Amino acid sequence: MINFNYETDFYLKNETEVSNWILNTISEEAHKLEEINYVFCDDEYLHKLNVEFLNHDTLTDVISFDYSIGKRIQGDIFISIERVKDNAKDFSVSFEEELNRVIIHGVLHYCGYKDKTDADAKIMRAKENHYLEQLA
């Protein structure tokens, strides 16, 4: 089950399409979906979580809490719409593309991909691009 929750004025226009895309991604990565809760929020909301749970006093676009066991995907993904808008401008891409990248980025973490090293980040970016092409 994929749930979309809104703590800001933003709302996904295509929840069903995005849900199907996420399900297809999880399936292609040979995992099974239990439950993912997406929470779309603002910078203040996400900053509080970043400080409280991760001890990071910085703004970020996405935080994911992974409760997966083995190949059974379960977690909460918090996305700051304000950060996504700013990042889209910084990277010269549309808001929709950047939002979709962040949406799938969290799922890929749950599937075992990391992004802390340059090598891992390169693999993560390639996977993001692969799945973004499938949504287009």
**Residue 38 region by backbone torsions, left for phi larger than 0, else alpha for psi between -120 and 50, else beta:** beta
Positive or negative torsion for Cα 95, 101, 79, 39? positive
- Cα distance between residue 23 and residue 85, in whole Å: 25
Annotated binding residue at 61?
Answer: no
**Strands 72-80 and 62-66: what pairing?**
antiparallel
Residue pointed to by tokens 């980040």: 121
115 is in an annotated binding site: yes
**Sign of the CA dihedral with 114 first, then 115, 116, and 122 last:** positive
Is 109 annotated among the ligand-binding residues? yes
Say which residues have a Cβ less than 8 Å from residue 48's Cβ, sequence separation at least 6. Answer: none
Q: Binding site residues, as ranges? A: 105, 109, 115
- Binding-site residues for Zn(2+), please? 105, 109, 115
